[in-house]
Amino acid sequence: MNNSEGEAAIPVCEAPNSEPGRPRISAPPDAWDCHAHIFGPPEQYAFVPGRSYTPPEASIQNYQRMLGALGPGRAVIVQPSVYGTDNRCTYDAVAASGGRWRGVAVVDARTNMHELRRLHDAGFRGVRFNLLFKGGLAMEILEQVARLIAPLGWHVQLLLDGRDLVELAPRLRALPVPFVVDHMGHMPAKLAPAHPGFATLLALVREGNCWVKLSGPYRISARPYPYEDVAPIAKALVEASPEHMVWGSDWPHPSFQGAMPVDATLLDLLGEWVPEPLTRQRILTTNPAKLYDFAS
């Protein structure tokens, strides 16, 4: 894919591995992949200018193939920053699932209730604030958006640098909706265990209104797979509040510059972080069904 004139400085992402592999641990059909993105043909779904990256096409069919190899039958498609508030690609992916997938949108404070109801009926249950990549929402409207979505029972999802949680925690505690923190707080693994931001994240999950995605270990690790420096972070989060943990593949791993992970090995990591089968089952099934309002 070539960038158009004026976008030459925007990096083009590597495609995910064509072979997802086969995991060693078992994921039942009612298991969830709670973090994935779909990138459609650019001539159909335009990217926002000034974005942080240009993704490769990552189709519904290829994602379904990956899920089929790993086992989960349910998924959460998260609106990526490259589409801004144009949720069409994510909407079309969720709609194509026949009710098996959920969606997380990007909307702003001007979005009306009619549009929110349309998204809700399609399967959307949250709004994402992406503070790390261009195209995401600004934190200035966090409270406005939270009030807007509260009547629908939605949550706020946050991609942020966990080192900022000390400053942000009072605002997050005051929100009228639950909030979900992406990628275990997304701070360097070598810093997290002793950092006040990680201590704040542990406190937030214990308080009950905060959820965490056990996802993206390769984004915060300084080591190759199996990312040993991330294990203490994941284990501490699970110990703090196993009922507020969910797992995600982060497929197709956009804007990652290292060795592209093999998807099955990411699910296997959950087996290492959470060796107790019932707790792992809860993280894969019960917790996401509750968070994403999936009754059956």
Q: Side chain identity at 34, as an amino acid letter?
A: C
Report the C-alpha gap between 53 and 232 in whole angstroms. Answer: 30
Tell me if residue 250 is catalytic: yes
Phi/psi zone of residue 130: left (φ > 0), alpha (ψ -120 to 50 degrees), beta?
Answer: beta
Contact partners, residue 272, CB within 8 Å, separation at least 6 = 226, 231
User: In 3D, which of 122, 120, 102, 103 has the Cα closest to residue 111?
Assistant: 120
- 183 near 154, Cβ under 8 Å? no
Catalytic residue among 121, 182, 229, 250: 250
Q: How far apart are CA 80 and CA 22, in angstroms?
A: 27
C-beta neighbour count of 262 within 10 angstroms: 17
Active site residues: 250
